[in-house]
């Protein structure tokens, strides 16, 4: 999916890419939605790994705005195909209800640790702001501005 995006997704293309018989993909994933759910779950692991590697969201002594801005920068600096695919799948949930629970899980996986550092409303707002910043970077092709992100996050945190 990284090469062709969602538009190029089919059981046939997945089987060819994985070098397995077509029947293997249709056996494990009956529908394209099931394939996309699996792909979104796998893509979500990318950001989760960045968050887990830093471990900063759990430490109340750290500067939360700096930590979040750094996390976004690290994630956006990673494999661009993976980052783009994650957002493509995330936004596909608008038209594919099967993806919505997985997209919600991703949001909740960030809200929960942030709510322990702030409060539930601020945590949700922080995730929304981070999403917006990342989408702007991806959609406009502008470089990620960590100082801007840190300041915007700091203002929201209060």
39 vs 86: CA distance, rounded Å: 8
What is the reported pLDDT for 55?
A: 75
Mean pLDDT of the chain: 85
Structure tokens at 34: 């099931």
Query: Residue 87's domain is classified under what CATH number?
Result: 1.10.357.10
- Contact present, 73 and 149 (Cβ < 8 Å): yes
> Is 95 part of any domain?
yes
- Contact present, 93 and 81 (Cβ < 8 Å): no
> Is 127 part of any domain?
yes
What is the reported pLDDT for 85?
A: 81
- Per residue in 90-127, pLDDT (tens digit) is 888 888 899 899 889 888 888 998 999 999 999 999 99
> Is 116 part of any domain?
yes
156 vs 45: CA distance, rounded Å: 26
- Contact present, 25 and 85 (Cβ < 8 Å): no
> Is 125 part of any domain?
yes
What is the reported pLDDT for 117?
A: 92
How many domains is the chain built from?
1
What is the reported pLDDT for 56?
A: 67
> Is 22 part of any domain?
no
The pLDDT of residue 147 is above 70: yes
Q: Which domain holds residue 82?
A: 31-157
> Is 147 part of any domain?
yes
Q: What is the pTM of this model?
A: 0.81
Q: Which residue has the tokens 């009956």?
A: 30
- Contact present, 38 and 102 (Cβ < 8 Å): no
- Per residue in 47-65, pLDDT (tens digit) is 777 777 777 677 888 899 9
> Is 98 part of any domain?
yes
Supply the DSSP string of 133-156, one letter for each residue: HHHHHHHH-PPP-HHHHHHHHHHH
> Is 9 part of any domain?
no
């Amino acid at each position: 999916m990284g090469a062709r995006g969602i538009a190029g997704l089919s059981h046939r293309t997945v089987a060819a890419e994985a070098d397995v018989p077509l029947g293997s993909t249709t056996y494990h994933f009956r529908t394209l939605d099931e394939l996309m759910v699996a792909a979104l779950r796998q893509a979500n692991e990318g950001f989760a790994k960045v968050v887990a590697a830093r471990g900063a969201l759990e430490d109340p002594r750290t500067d939360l705005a700096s930590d979040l801005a750094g996390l976004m920068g690290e994630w956006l600096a990673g494999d661009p195909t993976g980052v783009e695919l994650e957002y493509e799948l995330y936004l596909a949930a608008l038209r594919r209800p099967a993806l919505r629970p997985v997209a919600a899980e991703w949001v909740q996986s960030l809200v929960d640790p942030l709510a322990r550092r702030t409060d539930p409303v601020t945590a949700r707002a922080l995730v929304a702001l981070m999403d917006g910043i990342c989408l702007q970077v991806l959609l406009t092709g502008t470089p990620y501005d960590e100082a801007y992100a840190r300041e915007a996050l700091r203002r929201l945190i209060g």
